[in-house]
Structure 1
């Protein structure tokens, strides 16, 4: 395992980072953080409102600040925002400070999970299927480039994925 034993979960929105991260942190007796939730708590507003007032660029800057704070913690499981890997400095922070696990989800599964989700700012701009496909094309190479491990979530129950991650990192 890497130096600080932090575990960072990356992947597209809807891939299960938060749900899996909570369970994983309990099984490993580590503190759990969700970068979006930490950001919301700091600012006192939700992610869609940050997007509305500051745009994606403003959100990404604030996300970067939160990530810098979170990677300095020890022995944590962190569920990251899906776009956190868009910044090279964020990718470097993740890679250098913990084990990066890419939760790879099937596009059809993501579309199915996201079709009724009104809380995701990037999905409010048009056809969900087209947006998910575009995000996969843009982000998958970045997820793959920095991940220490890649775990497919396709046709697996949550606990199966958690146990697979535990086996990988031991």
Structure 2
């Protein structure tokens, strides 16, 4: 198995020649709602001529209803169980670019599956950027439970130490999505060229999250 390495910085500029990237397995984007997982995932998939899959859309298709309806009718625990099954199925298939839901990587079993079968990329964003992006849509069940800013701050405090266990960390840019795509592409290349140091870093991140 190829090891894991976080690449925290990447230069700005044009997207490197993505066709030169030879991905050994699925790339799974993780992070909070509004970080840009679906947007950047679609762009990366197009650049690599790979399918793009949105795990939330797959869950809705399997359930025959929206994620909000699943939360309302069955609760978050039932949703996470279904999410786990869907992601496991997707990771059993040929390589794709996968956008996961904000809470998927928090589930220990789902996280273990992603570590084993995918290259995980955390798109990190600050609370102001997340607020601007999530305010454009009204389909975020978690943000309907109170003040969105406080909810996002609480989620950042809870989830960012766990997201830090991802193979690659890229800061989502408040600008043209191609800027973030360039960072992701370069970070993937760096990861694939030098994966040996990743195991030690991920173990350290895991210890810090406990």
- d(CA) in 1 for partners of 2:129 and 2:40? 16
Q: Structure 1 residue 154 and structure 2 residue 178: aligned?
A: no
Structure 1 unpaired stretches of 5+? none
**Runs of 4+ more than 4 Å apart:** none
Counterparts of residues 10-159 of structure 1 (less than 5 Å): 10-145=30-165, 147-159=166-178
Q: TM-score, normalised by structure 1?
A: 0.94
Deviations 1:41-70 (A, max 9, x none): 111111100001011111111101101101
Paired residue secondary structure (2:52): strand
Q: Counterpart of 1:165? A: 184
- d(CA) in 2 for partners of 1:168 and 1:129? 30
- Report the RMSD for the aligned CA atoms in angstroms: 1.5
Deviations 1:54-91 (A, max 9, x none): 11111111101101101111221000000001211111
- d(CA) in 2 for partners of 1:25 and 1:17? 12
Contact 2:120 2:167 in 1 (8 A): yes
How many angstroms does 1:114 deviate by? 1.7
Greater RCO between the two (CA within 8 Å, min separation 6)? 2
Rg larger for = 2
How many angstroms does 1:29 deviate by? 1.1
- d(CA) in 1 for partners of 2:174 and 2:139? 25
Q: TM-score, normalised by structure 2?
A: 0.77
Aligned length: 169
Structure 2 unpaired stretches of 5+? 3-22, 190-210
- d(CA) in 2 for partners of 1:130 and 1:141? 18
- d(CA) in 1 for partners of 2:182 and 2:106? 28
